[in-house]
Structure 1
Amino acid sequence: MIEAGSRAFWRATLALCLGSVMIFANVYVTQPLLPMIAADFAISPLQAGWSFTVTTLTLGLSLLFYGPLSDALGRRGIILLTMAGVTVTTLALAFTESYGLLLALRALQGFLLGGLPAIAIAYMGDEFSRRALLLAVGFYISGNTLGGVGGRLVGGFVGEHFGWSQAFAVMACVSAVLLAAVALLLPPSRGFSAKPLRPALMLRDLGGHLRNPLLLGAYLIGGLNFFIFINQYSYATFMLAEAPYGLSAQFLGMLFLTYLSGTVGSALSGRVAQHLSQPLCMALGVLLLMCGTLVTLTPTLGAIIAGFLINSFGFFFAHSTASSWVSRHAEQARASASSLYLVFYYLGASCGGFYLSPFWHGYGWTGVVAASLLILVVTLTLSLLLYRSEMRQPALGVVDVCGSVRKRQQPLV
């Protein structure tokens, strides 16, 4: 097992963080490019938005595939192969001359982008000790935030000065460098135990995960938190574009820099979880999300930015903790358990806008805040229910991070 603080720990954690940066930079690189794509292909903004939506859609669907596949074939090889595929498709996007081909490549890219997110935490569960896992998951998810911000900044800057196709070319070069670093740093799997790839068994494993209340609770917490968090940004851009703020598109894009506080939240989550029960850490993250959401009601730009900084910290703090909780409590097929968490996560992102829309149109930003708090009360309640379940089962066998069953005499904290 890889222990926290060892040389192998830092190599593996850095490799997975760099891989996470590469994946999420490619997911979000198109967001600032949408107006250029719409103008170049003479399509509507809604049609241009499909270049982002189709990627997240196929990414979410792919997660159910890669988890069971890696349980059978191993983690490291699939991570590197899918990252290589992402690099190739990003380069191909730079030479695309039709919007239909661009959509097809983005759909294929989304499927390939799902490889590392579906497998990374399962790899940690196989290879890392419990303490190392708690620390590494926080650092890994901080890579998600850096990648999301970096992809938008690269896309916006390069696209504005050189065009959207050159933005893809630059992103392909960045992806190739990060792929090489991951291949060099990521240690071979030593704690992995292969399972036969059997579709019936895959479905049984997924059903087992959904029937496990400790996992289902974390799935709902992660999915519903993202359901609110990511879609608040969409409606905030409309609010800030109107009077009295009147921000331009360039400055609206910089609102996503508030994601950087999530990097800190992710990194701190593992350390806090060593001293506080993980469900209480999830509850703390949700409470911060609620506080940040309320702060955005203050009608000044500084307060709104502060609110989103708090939101990002709280969201990624809870997300990191929920992810590691799933890996710890999966009784079997750990990769598919982690993949199912991310399926809930991306489904939440896809559906949240529809939920918030009537509140926005009826009551403006105040309605969005009220609707957000309703859902966050649900995730706070779920976090406390997980804590109660943990406290009520002190003598039951639980699965530790290396997959073996052991007895515990007191609740895990």
Structure 2
Amino acid sequence: MIEAKTRAWWRATAALCLGSFLVFINLYVPQPLLPELKQAYGVSTLGASLLMSFATLSLAFALLVFGPLSDAIGRGAIMRVTLVVAGALSLCLAFAPNFETLLILRLIQGFALGGLPAVAIAWMGDEFDKPALLGAVGLYIGANSLGGISGRVVGGWAASIGGPEAAFLSVGVMTLVGCVLFWRLLPEGRAFVAKRFELRQAVRDLVAHLRTPALLGAYCIGGINFLVFINQYSYITFRLAAEPYALAASALGLIFLTYLGGTFGSTVSGRLARRFSPASCMCAGIVILTLGTAVTLSNALALVILGLTINAFGFFLCHSLASSWVGRYAQGARGSASALYLVFYYLGASIGGFWLEPFWRVAQWPGVALGSWLLLGVTLVLALRLRRFERRHG
């Protein structure tokens, strides 16, 4: 087993953080480009948003495929191959002849991008001892958010110079170069023991998780909150690209630096949960996300940015605690329980455009805020129920 702070630990952790970073720059690079892509291809706001929805939908499906598959064939090869495929597909996106091809490529890319998130923590569980695992997971999750921010900033900057094609080319080249480093850094797994995949047992585990109210509530909180949070960012790009703001793609990419509020929310979530209880802090996170959305209704750009930062803090505070809640209350098969949380999480992102689009068409950004509040009311009720469960069961 690899011990914490050793040379092998730093090497493996660096590899997995790099892989995580590469996954999320590819996943989120189109988001600041949506207004430009909408205009270039003559599609609706919903049509442009499908570039995000298709990728997150297929990523959610990939989690259910690659996780069990890795138990049978190993994890390292899945991570290596899927990263290369994802990078190659970003290059292909730059040369897509039409919008339909762009959507198909994003659907395939989303599936490839699911390979590493589906198995990275399982790889760590195989190879690291417990103290090493805890430290590595924290760094790995931090790389997730850094990749998400970087994908949007790099994409917006490159698009301001050479259009969306330049954004996809830049990220594709970055990914393939990063893959060379990833392949060299990631050690061969030594503690992995292949297990026979039993579809019937896997299905039974998933059904059992879905029948557990304490888990289902957390799944719905994570999925619905992410539906609101990530799709608000898509629609805010349309708002800020139009008058009176008329922000260019490079400036829209910088808007996603507000995610750093979420980094702070994740960091303090553990300390707050120890003082006030996880479910209570989930409720607080949802209320903060609701209030931040109200702040974004201002016409002042500075207040819009402040509202997005507040939203990021509230969302990641709740998300961190909902995901850890699953690990705490899952009765057996914790790997599939956590994977199912991520499936709900990315499914929420996939369907958010379909929910918010009618509100946008009727009332633009105030409509998006209303649609968000309706769903946040649902997740607040679910969080209050988890709070009652927590008080009964400790």
Q: After superposition, where does 1:339-350 map in structure 2 within 5 Å?
A: 339-350=339-350
**CA RMSD, 1 decimal:** 3.5
Change in Cα spacing, 1:193 to 1:51, as seen in structure 2 (3 Å) is: same
Counterpart in 1 of 2:234? 234
Change in Cα spacing, 1:189 to 1:374, as seen in structure 2 (3 Å) is: farther
Return the alpha-carbon distance in structure 1 between the equivalents of residues 102 and 288 of structure 2: 39
Counterpart in 2 of 1:147? 147
Counterpart in 2 of 1:322? 322
Return the alpha-carbon distance in structure 1 between the equivalents of residues 274 and 11 of structure 2: 22
Greater displacement, 6-15 / 195-204: 6-15
Counterpart in 1 of 2:43? 45
Q: After superposition, where does 1:104-253 map in structure 2 within 5 Å?
A: 104-124=104-124, 136-186=136-186, 194-241=194-241, 245=245, 247-248=247-248, 250-253=250-253
Shift of 1:306: 0.7
In terms of fraction of residues, the more helix-rich structure is 2
Secondary structure in 2 matching 1:178 = helix
- Quick check: 2:159–2:249 contact (8 Å CA) kept in 1? no
Secondary structure in 2 matching 1:45 = coil
- What is the one-letter code of the residue matched to 1:260? L
Counterpart in 2 of 1:404? none
Return the alpha-carbon distance in structure 2 between the equivalents of residues 124 and 190 of structure 1: 11
- What is the one-letter code of the residue matched to 1:86? A
Greater displacement, 107-116 / 164-173: 164-173
Change in Cα spacing, 1:67 to 1:273, as seen in structure 2 (3 Å) is: farther
Shift of 1:8: 6.1
Shift of 1:25: 0.8
Summarize deviations over 1:91-142 as a string: whole Å, max 9, x none: 4444555665544433222111111222334445556677776665554333
Return the alpha-carbon distance in structure 2 between the equivalents of residues 367 and 168 of structure 1: 31
Shift of 1:38: 6.6
- Quick check: 2:153–2:250 contact (8 Å CA) kept in 1? no
- Quick check: 2:59–2:113 contact (8 Å CA) kept in 1? yes
Greater displacement, 88-97 / 344-353: 88-97
Return the alpha-carbon distance in structure 2 between the equivalents of residues 136 and 110 of structure 1: 25
TM (norm. structure 2) is 0.83
Shift of 1:181: 3.9
- Quick check: 1:51–1:103 contact (8 Å CA) kept in 2? yes
Greater displacement, 181-190 / 136-145: 181-190
- What is the one-letter code of the residue matched to 1:279? A
- What is the one-letter code of the residue matched to 1:285? G
| Aligned positions, number | 392
Summarize deviations over 1:237-280 as a string: whole Å, max 9, x none: 44445665454555344322212322333344355556664334
Say if 2:91 is the partner of 1:70: no
Return the alpha-carbon distance in structure 1 between the equivalents of residues 334 and 374 of structure 2: 32
- What is the one-letter code of the residue matched to 2:376? L
Shift of 1:312: 0.8
Shift of 1:305: 1.0
- Quick check: 1:61–1:343 contact (8 Å CA) kept in 2? yes
Change in Cα spacing, 1:302 to 1:105, as seen in structure 2 (3 Å) is: closer
Return the alpha-carbon distance in structure 2 between the equivalents of residues 344 and 34 of structure 1: 24
Structure 1 unaligned segments of length 5 or more: list them: 394-410
Change in Cα spacing, 1:93 to 1:317, as seen in structure 2 (3 Å) is: same
Counterpart in 2 of 1:399? none
- What is the one-letter code of the residue matched to 1:21? F
Counterpart in 1 of 2:57? 57
Counterpart in 1 of 2:22? 22
Change in Cα spacing, 1:49 to 1:314, as seen in structure 2 (3 Å) is: closer
- Quick check: 2:156–2:252 contact (8 Å CA) kept in 1? no
Return the alpha-carbon distance in structure 2 between the equivalents of residues 293 and 140 of structure 1: 29
TM (norm. structure 1) is 0.79
Return the alpha-carbon distance in structure 1 between the equivalents of residues 276 and 9 of structure 2: 23
Say if 2:301 is the partner of 1:295: no
- What is the one-letter code of the residue matched to 2:42? S
Between the two proteins, what is the percent identity of the paired residues? 53
Return the alpha-carbon distance in structure 2 between the equivalents of residues 192 and 380 of structure 1: 41
- Quick check: 2:34–2:238 contact (8 Å CA) kept in 1? no
Shift of 1:229: 0.9
Return the alpha-carbon distance in structure 2 between the equivalents of residues 240 and 119 of structure 1: 37
Shift of 1:191: 6.7
- Quick check: 1:14–1:185 contact (8 Å CA) kept in 2? yes
Change in Cα spacing, 1:132 to 1:34, as seen in structure 2 (3 Å) is: same
Return the alpha-carbon distance in structure 1 between the equivalents of residues 156 and 117 of structure 2: 25
Counterpart in 2 of 1:89? 89
- What is the one-letter code of the residue matched to 2:348? G
Change in Cα spacing, 1:207 to 1:366, as seen in structure 2 (3 Å) is: same
Change in Cα spacing, 1:169 to 1:247, as seen in structure 2 (3 Å) is: closer
